[in-house]
Amino acid sequence: MRMILVGPPGAGKGTQAARLVQNFRIPHISSGDMLRAAVKEGTELGQEADRYMKAGKLVPDAVVIGMILDRITKPDAANGFMLDGFPRTVPQAEALDAALKKAGFDLDAIVLIEVADDLIKERVTGRRSDAAGNIYHIKNNPAPAGVSVVQRKDDTEEACTERLVKYHGETEPILPFYEKKGILKRVNGVGSLDEVSARIRKALGTH
């Protein structure tokens, strides 16, 4: 199963990603983690990416795609892979599609976890964390009495609104591109973790 996981910030992608890679026994390829690993390993592409990052510039799409192609040829990706965090824009989706085709790879599915903005804001702004890094929610999972919690900067209403605006403006436009190819799978992200997991499996035809 070769797939890309997309959805707004706070939609629950991280949790579902962990379940999907376990179910399909495929690697979770996060573009951010991959970049950091390549830089640490000092690969040719990693060194190139490092030069851009040290200069405070964005790593070019061609470099990121080169890393993805290199990563998906590793033995652990023989049964497929799950890409997360890329593509984020239409040009990236088009460039990745062309590069994958050239390398002889076809995507099986783009899984979109859908959650309305107002619910995303409620989820994100209600999150709190303690000193040990445990995550709570003021409404759904309050911290035990006596446990001191704080709201992270990323979880403020302003930060959440900013990330949603970016998602709708940049990432959402890639959806029609994959819809035309017939591989976009829309999944309702509201409900328990098990309910959402079951919907994803059903959408992928593996229930």
Return the bridge partners of 185, or none. Answer: 111
Q: What is the pLDDT of residue 207?
A: 62
Exposure string (b/e) for 146-184, b if CB count within 10 Å is 16 or more? eeebeeeeebeeeebeebbeebeeebeebbeebeeeebb
Could you tell me if residue 96 is inside a domain? no
**Catalytically active residues, by annotation:** 13, 88, 127, 152, 163
CA distance 159 to 153: 7
In a domain, 165, yes or no: yes
pLDDT score, position 136 = 92
Q: What is the CATH number of the domain that holds 198?
A: 3.40.50.300
* Residue segments in the chain with a per-residue pLDDT below the cut of 70: 207
Peptide bond connecting 176 to the previous residue in cis, omega within 30 degrees of 0? no
pTM, to two decimals: 0.86
> Could you tell me if residue 68 is inside a domain?
no
Contact predicate 189/7, CB 8 Å: yes
Look at residue 36 and tell me if it is in a domain.
Answer: no
Q: How many domains does the chain have?
A: 1
What backbone torsions phi and psi does residue 138 show, to the nearest 5 degrees? -60, -25
Q: Could you tell me the residue range of the domain that residue 183 belongs to?
A: 6-12+109-203
Residue 24 lies in a domain: no
How much is the mean pLDDT over the chain? Answer: 92
- Domain assignment present for residue 143? The answer is yes
Does residue 161 fall inside a structural domain? Answer: yes
Sorted by sequence, the CB contacts under 8 Å of residue 28 that are 6+ apart come out as 17, 18, 20, 21, 82, 84
Neighbours of 27 (CB within 10 A): 19
39 is a domain residue: no
